[in-house]
Amino acid sequence: VECSSVDEALAAAGARADIILLDNLAPQELHAAAAQVKAAQPRVTVEASGGIVLETLPQFLGPHIDVVSMGCLTHSAPALDFALRV
């Protein structure tokens, strides 16, 4: 479940979501939200996403973050022209 606030994340955890994606939160807010979610539902996987780039990645890593998504890996990927004949 994609959540953009602590309240949404706690509601999703309470509804027994398996994975909670915390989207577009500042690092400090992200870590506080992740800690609250894990305290409420330790089995939930917490994913950080939104605006994370290689330079800022260390700020988003923490003990309550299980997965980090980085759209920058695909947003600027170059195109490859190829053909497949079967």
| Confidence tier at 86 by pLDDT (50, 70, 90) | confident
Chain centre to alpha carbon of residue 69: 5
Question: What confidence tens digit (pLDDT) does each residue in 46-69 have?
Answer: 999 998 998 999 999 999 999 999
Looking at residue 33, what is its pLDDT?
A: 96
Q: How many domains does the chain have?
A: 1
For residue 82, being part of any structural domain is answered with no
Looking at residue 29, what is its pLDDT?
A: 95
- Give the global pTM: 0.82
What distance in Å separates the CA atoms of residue 56 and residue 26, rounded to the nearest whole number? 11
Q: What residues make up the domain containing 63?
A: 2-76
Looking at residue 36, what is its pLDDT?
A: 97
Looking at residue 21, what is its pLDDT?
A: 97
CATH number of the domain where residue 68 is located: 3.20.20.70
